[in-house]
């Protein structure tokens, strides 16, 4: 799922292309995408784009009359910028926003159709999409620590809960925890002050560095390769590959459709965390320490 750095770079690319432009037409190419009926979608046609913003992992396009198009890409949704005569791909196309000098294409790979588009009017209606998560790049250490310890969760869950922190998902939470040298299953209630400081600094540094990196990669073009799996990530999506810090093989915990990636030597004192399915299957054969795997 595109997270804060990806969404920020998308917004910057959109701002350069559509702010101040008239939205001529909106074409819904898959009926499951549109999740609202009032106001009618046709009401945005002929309106000028007045601004763009992020709410969590959502992209908001503001138009005249306090109309807001709210795009949630979910896991497989992506955006493309097409020239007026570019061919629109059939199977993955969800919607097309047409401007005089280009078209914004909303796509989604796969068949689950989780991506969504809402149209709302007024700031009060827009506020329903704000889960209340803290914007870490706009807050201080004390506020961060208070929010982190307000409820007792594992660090992985706390970082990815949109009610606690805004814009952080599965990929960047792995990178943050690796940088902070903290276990993904450590409980927030048991963190020392030094741990909270490390996590705060790691969160800010990770989000800022990846935003700069993705912006540089785009180099002014519309972002095309938005993915949660990047070769220069430290641990996310790198199961079995060497940790860039200590060289130990990256470990993972798989649950449902998500996974947590971590370095046992850097983050858990060498302990290999139990995988809900695999550790039950292997039972006594499950390795307890990273040294047993080397």
The partner residues of 71 in beta bridges, in order of sequence, read 59, 117
Determine the pLDDT at residue 288: 60
Instruction: Convert the pLDDT of each residue in 93-142 to its tens digit.
Output: 999 999 999 999 999 998 888 999 999 999 999 999 999 999 999 999 99
User: CATH 3.20.190.10 in the chain, residues?
Assistant: 4-129
Instruction: Convert the pLDDT of each residue in 205-230 to its tens digit.
Output: 999 999 999 999 999 999 988 998 99
User: CATH 1.10.8.50 in the chain, residues?
Assistant: 136-293
Determine the pLDDT at residue 255: 80
Query: Mean pLDDT for the chain?
Result: 93
> Is the whole model's pTM more than 0.75, yes or no?
yes
Closest CA to 22 of 53, 85, 67: 67
| pLDDT surpasses 60 at 29 | yes
| Beta carbons within 10 angstroms of residue 102's beta carbon | 17
Q: Under CATH, what is the fold of the domain 136-293?
A: Helicase, Ruva Protein; domain 3 (1.10.8)
Determine the pLDDT at residue 16: 97
Q: Under CATH, what is the fold of the domain 4-129?
A: N-terminal domain of MutM-like DNA repair proteins (3.20.190)
pLDDT bracket for residue 290 (50, 70, 90): low
Q: How far apart are CA 86 and CA 163, in angstroms?
A: 40
């Amino acid at each position: 799922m595109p997270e804060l750095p990806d969404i920020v770079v998308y917004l910057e690319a959109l701002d350069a292309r559509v702010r101040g432009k008239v939205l001529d037409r909106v074409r819904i190419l898959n009926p499951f995408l549109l999740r609202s009926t009032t106001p009618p979608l046709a009401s945005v046609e002929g309106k000028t784009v007045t601004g763009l913003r992020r709410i969590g992992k959502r992209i908001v396009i503001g138009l005249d009359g306090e109309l807001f198009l709210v795009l949630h890409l979910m896991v497989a949704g992506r955006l493309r910028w097409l020239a007026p005569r570019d061919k629109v791909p059939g199977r993955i196309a969800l919607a097309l926003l047409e401007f005089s000098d280009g078209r914004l294409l909303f796509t989604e790979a796969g068949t689950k159709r989780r991506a969504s588009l809402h149209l709302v009017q007024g700031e009060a209606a827009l506020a329903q999409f704000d889960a209340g998560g803290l914007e870490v790049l706009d807050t201080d250490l004390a506020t961060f620590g208070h929010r982190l310890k307000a409820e007792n969760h594992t660090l992985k869950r706390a970082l990815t809960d949109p009610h606690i922190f805004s814009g952080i998902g599965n990929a960047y939470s792995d990178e943050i925890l690796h940088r902070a040298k903290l276990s993904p299953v450590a409980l927030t209630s048991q963190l020392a002050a030094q741990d909270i400081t490390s996590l705060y600094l790691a969160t800010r540094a990770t989000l800022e560095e990846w935003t700069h990196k993705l912006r540089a990669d785009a180099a002014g073009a519309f972002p095309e390769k938005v993915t949660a799996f990047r070769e220069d990530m430290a641990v996310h999506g790198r199961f079995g590959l060497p940790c860039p810090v200590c060289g130990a093989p990256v470990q993972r915990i798989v649950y449902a459709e998500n996974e947590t990636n971590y370095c046992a030597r850097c983050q858990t004192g060498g302990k290999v965390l139990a995988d809900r399915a695999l550790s039950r299957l292997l039972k006594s054969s499950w390795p307890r320490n990273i040294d047993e795997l080397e």
